[in-house]
């Protein structure tokens, strides 16, 4: 069949939260924008990551708070069916019609199918004909499984927002054992009696917490400590909490081999999975979750057709971008990228931040209603001490020094900026100021067993904060004040006049300054 070709000002490959934001911002000066999505509009975060995982964790967190609060009854075991029903509700039962309607309502054109670069400013979209419906917008389908294709030509720019994919270690027998990824873990129809989690990062720690809360016997295997991207004390506190919850946490260990009878066979469920450790010990469980990391999704989007392969790609196959999110190494400067696919700061919130940047850049450069706006004009003057480091809506700078992360384990962990080790490796003269949150007045009224710790990193030369970490109940809600201080490079002498309310846990800010000697 012949390929139809349509022209838009901008084509976005990837209709997750990041792609949606990039498309919306790019369209705000009159540009026509097409969004190509092969799965569910709204992407990983809405259906298999951020949103459902937090629902799975919420019941256990509230139950623990009730148990620790004098005067409240022990709420008993969680209602697993109700938790899973709420998870289904928050994911709209994996129906993206609401998000698809938002895309169309925002004046964007949604194109269903797999988008792949096939040349300069040219994207080919394919979809198996078995999935083509009369309202798909792909035209009349022929019989058979031959993919239907459309070609979308961009007048100005193509934005890649394809996210990332899980990494599966080459452990013998692992691939054949049909392990869960984060998708299966967050969308499971039932809670298994037992679960082995391989990986001690964010997904591994959160899902170990969630499934233990919901009644599974969980074993967590991590080749290092937990949450290696955070300060060491954060991972240690989470490991201690998981053990108190009944999780068998094994650090500095990895699987030597995996076996699972019946996996991959049609008809019936596979049998239990057995993980063998290097010392010969065998751990058997009903299910296995592998959460050992993710890599940018560039392997199936045709980057080689525009000269990007091998040395032109970054770590894990990432698209290398500048601070305007323009991809390096592509003549004409028409290719942009944002989110996990860039490898810069793989979280939804940082990806959406990059999306706002790239959308604004493209809207200003090419928009018919842009007026005198451009990525090099109209920006505010640098603040004191910021000379040579302009703050601009047209540059993604927060994913360098002020990246933020929240882990919704119990206790929660949140941090902004580098760890102490990373700061010292970068040559920043820092002093770590740590404080036990249980000593703060606000903590004493929350629960008698309140446990938490906080730490800030002070650049001793510039007398500003460059990083902060919080571990404790609702630690994620404490982070943004630190983020503002770090991004704004607020002098410590000025922070002294930011008076925290009493009795709140935020009083720790006063204790930081007092501990530092102010």
User: How are the residues of the chain apportioned to helix, strand and coil, as percentages rounded to the nearest 5?
Assistant: 35, 25, 40
pLDDT confidence band for 29 (50 / 70 / 90) = very high
Q: CA separation (Å) from 335 to 79, 120, 325, 492? A: 49, 9, 9, 41
Alpha carbon 420 to its chain's center: 22
**Burial zone of 245 (CB within 10 Å; 0-12 exposed, 13-18 middle, 19+ buried):** middle
Q: Which of 4-8, 460-464, 487-491 has the lowest mean pLDDT?
A: 4-8
pLDDT(387) > 80 = no
**Burial zone of 35 (CB within 10 Å; 0-12 exposed, 13-18 middle, 19+ buried):** buried
Instruction: Tell me what pLDDT residue 69 has.
Output: 86
pLDDT tens string 290-315: 999 999 999 999 999 999 988 889 99
Note whether residue 385 is domain-resident: no
pLDDT tens string 338-366: 999 999 999 999 999 999 999 999 999 99
Considering the domain architecture, whether residues 21 and 146 belong to the same structural domain is answered as yes
Considering the domain architecture, whether residues 120 and 187 belong to the same structural domain is answered as no
Considering the domain architecture, whether residues 18 and 101 belong to the same structural domain is answered as yes
Considering the domain architecture, whether residues 206 and 236 belong to the same structural domain is answered as yes
Considering the domain architecture, whether residues 137 and 188 belong to the same structural domain is answered as no
Instruction: Tell me what pLDDT residue 210 has.
Output: 98
Instruction: Tell me what pLDDT residue 146 has.
Output: 65
Q: What is the CATH number of the domain that holds 153?
A: 3.50.50.60
Full residue range of the structural domain in which residue 258 is found:
168-292
In the chain, the percentage of residues whose pLDDT exceeds 90 is 80
pLDDT(138) > 90 = no
Nearest of 407, 399, 392 to residue 353 by alpha carbon? 399
Tokens of 14: 């990837």
The domain boundary, picked from 292, 324, 340, lies at 292
Considering the domain architecture, whether residues 148 and 198 belong to the same structural domain is answered as no
Considering the domain architecture, whether residues 138 and 32 belong to the same structural domain is answered as yes
pLDDT confidence band for 370 (50 / 70 / 90) = low
Considering the domain architecture, whether residues 153 and 192 belong to the same structural domain is answered as no
Global confidence as pTM: 0.91
Cα distance from N-terminal residue to C-terminal residue, the chain: 74
Considering the domain architecture, whether residues 229 and 322 belong to the same structural domain is answered as no
Element (H, E) at 54: helix 50-68
Average pLDDT, the chain: 90
pLDDT confidence band for 378 (50 / 70 / 90) = very low
Note whether residue 355 is domain-resident: yes
pLDDT(131) > 80 = no
Phi-psi region of 87 (alpha: psi -120 to 50; beta: other; left: phi over 0): alpha
In the chain, the percentage of residues whose pLDDT exceeds 70 is 90
What is the bridge-based pairing of β-strands 282-285 and 164-166? Answer: unpaired
The domain boundary, picked from 259, 292, 325, lies at 292
Instruction: Tell me what pLDDT residue 369 has.
Output: 67
Note whether residue 150 is domain-resident: yes
Considering the domain architecture, whether residues 31 and 107 belong to the same structural domain is answered as yes
Note whether residue 380 is domain-resident: no
Mean pLDDT of 18-46: 97
Note whether residue 388 is domain-resident: no
Q: How many domains, the chain?
A: 4
Note whether residue 276 is domain-resident: yes
β-bridge partners, 119: 122
The domain boundary, picked from 275, 292, 309, lies at 292
Cβ-Cβ contacts under 8 Å for 277 (sequence gap 6 or more)? 221, 250, 253, 254, 255, 256, 283
Considering the domain architecture, whether residues 200 and 228 belong to the same structural domain is answered as yes
Note whether residue 122 is domain-resident: yes
Mean pLDDT of 178-204: 97
Largest Cα separation within the chain, whole Å, is 76
302 versus 385: the higher-pLDDT residue is 302
Q: What is the CATH number of the domain that holds 512?
A: 3.30.390.30
pLDDT tens string 409-426: 999 999 999 999 999 999
Considering the domain architecture, whether residues 245 and 325 belong to the same structural domain is answered as no
Nearest of 253, 195, 5, 245 to residue 119 by alpha carbon? 5
| Helix pair angle (97-105, 17-26), 10° resolution | 10
- Look at residue 486 and give its three-state secondary structure: helix
Mean pLDDT of 82-97: 96
Phi and psi angles of residue 226, each rounded to the nearest 5 degrees, phi first? -85, 150
Mean pLDDT of 188-217: 97
Note whether residue 438 is domain-resident: yes
β-bridge partners, 453: 436, 471
Q: CA separation (Å) from 262 to 168, 269, 274? A: 20, 8, 12
What is the bridge-based pairing of β-strands 33-37 and 4-13? Answer: parallel
pLDDT(130) > 70 = no
Handedness of CA 360, 361, 366, 369 (dihedral sign): positive
């Amino acid at each position: 069949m012949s390929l139809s070709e349509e022209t838009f000002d901008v084509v976005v490959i990837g209709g997750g939260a990041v792609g949606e934001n990039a498309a919306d911002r790019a369209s705000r000066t009159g540009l026509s924008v097409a969004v190509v999505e092969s799965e569910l509009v709204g992407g990983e975060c809405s259906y298999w990551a951020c949103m459902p995982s937090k629902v799975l964790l919420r019941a256990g967190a509230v139950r623990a708070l009730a148990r620790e609060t004098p005067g409240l009854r022990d709420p008993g075991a969680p209602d697993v069916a109700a938790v899973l029903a709420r998870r289904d509700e928050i994911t709209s039962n994996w129906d993206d019609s609401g998000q698809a309607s938002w895309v169309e309502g925002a004046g964007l054109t949604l194109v269903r199918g797999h988008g792949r670069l096939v040349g300069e400013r040219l994207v080919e979209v394919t979809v198996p004909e078995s999935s083509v419906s009369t309202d798909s917008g792909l035209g009349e389908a022929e019989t058979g499984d031959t993919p239907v294709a459309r070609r979308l030509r961009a007048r100005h720019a193509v934005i890649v927002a394809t996210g990332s994919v899980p990494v599966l270690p080459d452990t013998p027998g692992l691939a054949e054992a049909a392990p869960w990824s984060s998708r299966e873990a967050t969308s499971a129809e039932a809670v298994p009696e037992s679960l082995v989690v391989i990986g001690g990062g964010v997904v591994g720690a959160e899902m170990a917490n969630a499934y233990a809360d919901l009644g599974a016997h969980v074993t967590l295997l991590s080749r290092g400590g937990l949450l290696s991207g955070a300060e060491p004390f954060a991972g240690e506190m989470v490991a201690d909490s998981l053990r108190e919850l009944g999780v068998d946490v094994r650090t500095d260990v990895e699987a030597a081999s995996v076996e699972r009878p019946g996996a991959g066979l049609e008809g019936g469920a596979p049998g239990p999975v057995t993980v063998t450790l290097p010392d010969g010990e065998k751990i058997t469980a009903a299910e296995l979750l592998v959460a050992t990391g993710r890599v940018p999704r560039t392997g199936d989007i045709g980057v080689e057709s525009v000269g990007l392969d091998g040395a032109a790609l970054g770590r894990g196959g990432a698209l290398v971008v500048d601070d305007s999110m323009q991809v390096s190494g592509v003549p004409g400067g028409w290719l942009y990228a944002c989110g996990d696919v860039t490898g810069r700061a793989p979280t939804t919130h940082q990806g959406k931040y990059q999306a706002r940047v790239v959308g604004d850049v493209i809207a200003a450069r090419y928009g018919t209603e842009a007026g005198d706006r451009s990525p090099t004009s109209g920006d505010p003057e640098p603040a004191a001490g910021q000379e040579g480091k302009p703050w601009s809506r047209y540059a993604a700078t927060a994913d360098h020094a002020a990246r933020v992360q929240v882990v919704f384990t119990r206790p929660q962990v949140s941090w902004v900026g580098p760890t102490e080790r990373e700061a010292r490796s970068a040559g920043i003269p820092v002093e770590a100021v740590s404080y036990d949150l249980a000593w703060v007045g606000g903590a004493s009224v929350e629960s008698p067993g309140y446990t938490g710790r906080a730490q800030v990193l002070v650049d001793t030369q510039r007398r500003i904060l460059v990083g902060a970490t919080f571990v404790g109940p609702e630690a994620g809600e404490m982070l943004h004040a630190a983020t503002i201080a770090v991004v704004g490079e607020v002098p410590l002498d000025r922070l002294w006049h930011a008076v925290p309310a009493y009795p709140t846990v935020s009083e720790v800010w006063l204790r930081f300054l007092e501990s530092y000697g102010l």
